[in-house]
Chains A and B, each alone.
Chain A
C-alpha cells in the first residue's frame, strides 16, 4: 500500500518560514491535500490539489508537489499556526485514501 512520510515535528520562530514535507513514491504524479488540526478540533482543509488554497485560508499558506516530495509552506508564521498538519492522497492502485502520519508544528 502507498505510504506517506512526514516529519513528526517542525519548529519555527514567529515571522519565519515553516516547510512541512510529505514524502511518497512519485507523489508528484498524485494530487496532494493538506489539513490543519488544532487540539480538540476537527481538521481544516488548508491546501487542496497540491497548491489550491480554499477561501478563508491566509495567503501565507502555499503548497507544492514534485518528484517524491510535496511541501506545505507557511510564510510569516504566527502563533495561531501551531497545530498538527496532515498530507493526504488518493491511491488509485488500492482505491484507498492515505494520510501521512502528521507533523506537529511548534511556534517557538
Chain B
C-alpha cells in the first residue's frame, strides 16, 4: 500500500525557515517523480515544486523560486522541501504527491499525503 506522510509543518515568523519532509512507502520511491502542492486556507490548489525520480531535474513555481528548494533522499525514501524567507502568503497546507508513471513531465498525481500545515505569522 502506497503511503505518503508529511511532517515538519508549524508556526514560523515571517522571514523564517522551515523544512518539510514526506516519508514514502509501498512503492519504488526512486523511480517516480514527486511533487509539492499547497492550498491556502479556503483557496484552491497551487503547484509548488516537482523533482524527477533521480533528483536531477527540478521545477519551481514562480512564487517560490529562489526561496524554496526541493530535494529527495532515495536511500531514505524521503522527499523534502526547504523553505526560506517565508511570507504570510506561504501559509497553507502542503501536500506531497507521487507521479503515477515514470514520465518526466505531464504525469498525473495518483497518491497524495494528508498534508502538513505551515503558518507564517508574527
- Is there contact, CB below 8 Å, between B110 and A86? no
A93–chain B nearest beta-carbon distance, Å:
12
Q: How many residues of B contact A (CB 8 A)?
A: 23
- Is there contact, CB below 8 Å, between B59 and A96? yes
B19 in contact (CB, < 8 A): no
Give every chain B residue within 8 A of A37 (Cβ-Cβ): 45
- Is there contact, CB below 8 Å, between A92 and B105? yes
Chain B residue nearest in CB terms to A97: B47
- Is there contact, CB below 8 Å, between A42 and B114? yes
B57–chain A nearest beta-carbon distance, Å:
9
Interchain CA distance A33-B109 in the complex, whole Å: 9
Interchain CA distance A43-B45 in the complex, whole Å: 9
- Is there contact, CB below 8 Å, between A99 and B113? no
A101 in contact (CB, < 8 A): yes
* Majority-rule SS of A interface residues: strand
B32 in contact (CB, < 8 A): no
Chain B interfacial positions (CB closer than 8 Å to A)? 35, 37, 44-47, 50, 59, 61-62, 95, 97, 100, 105-110, 112-115
Chain A interfacial positions (CB closer than 8 Å to B)? 1, 31, 33, 35, 37, 42-45, 48-49, 54, 84, 86, 88, 90, 92, 95-102
Inter-chain pairs besides A31-B106, A44-B112, A48-B110, 4 sampled, C-beta below 8 Å: A35-B109, A88-B47, A96-B61, A99-B46
